[in-house]
Structure 1
Amino acid sequence: MRHTAKQAQHRTLTDLYRALDKQHAVTITYLKPGETQPMVRTIEIHELRTTAVKISKNGEVSGGDIMVIAMCRLRGEAREFHLSGIVSYTVHRIGYVLERPANTTYEPTPQAPTDDETAIVHFELERDPDDADYRPRRKLTQTDAGLAA
């Protein structure tokens, strides 16, 4: 177990980056901002990120903190931890077991047709998943016996 107060911050970052690179789980003792009792979590690191720096009009600098984005084995979901809140950590040899949730993607909506009324109606029906099967998949004829009631 390594105590972050007894080593330089770049040493802690080096160990966490190495754990990320080798995909080894890390057990951290973490102190949330505003709390007095630290908690122990085993995490699977996926990203180390720096928060945005903001400079106020009177010259005060805020932000620029280092965040550890990881899957928490206790919660089973993605969590963010401030590097400054990690009191101690242990890098294990065990690999990752949790699957990281896929990133959401943005798919722009295609442009609606403006010149044909039928095309506009079908465009709107296809946007609604409940009514997407309004149009028949094949051309229907009067001789289709499968349509008889």
Structure 2
Amino acid sequence: MSLPAPHGRLAIVVFSDNPDHRYLLEVLDHAGFVYQEVKPSEGPAAAGRFPIWIALVHGRAPLDNEWVSALRSHVQEGGGLVLLGAPLGLEDLLQVRFSSGYQQARPDWLGPCRDLGEGYADPSDHPIARSAPRPLHVFGGPALEALPAQVAGILARDG
């Protein structure tokens, strides 16, 4: 449930004016999460005090420079980020690229973009989802490819 600031550790930003795109807030409310909704017009400073940000990006134009810079800084400084939707403007940060369709020259048109469709992802398919208690329901969104990456950290266990 969204409470007056500064409750919780989670900031939610919905980058869309369409009220239907606020479904994430309904899901979190029903699950009993405590979060603070930050409107894009309030600027990134309003989300700055929260260690974890969830950004729901709906649309095809990149986020404005202020938000792109803030999201980038938040991650680089160790903050948590869950990005739902197209990572327009943050591809290099997330080390992904569109597998087809998106053109920087025409950000308002994804072109013949491959869509993920709808289905269930087997949790054993990827390390990030192995601990999921059941298959992950996925739907919509453009197909992305991972860029070559370097190891960012190593977990050492003693004993």
TM-score, with length taken from structure 1: 0.22
What's the TM-score, normalizing by structure 2?
0.21
Higher RCO (Cα < 8 Å, 6 or more apart): 1
Q: Rg: which structure is higher?
A: 1
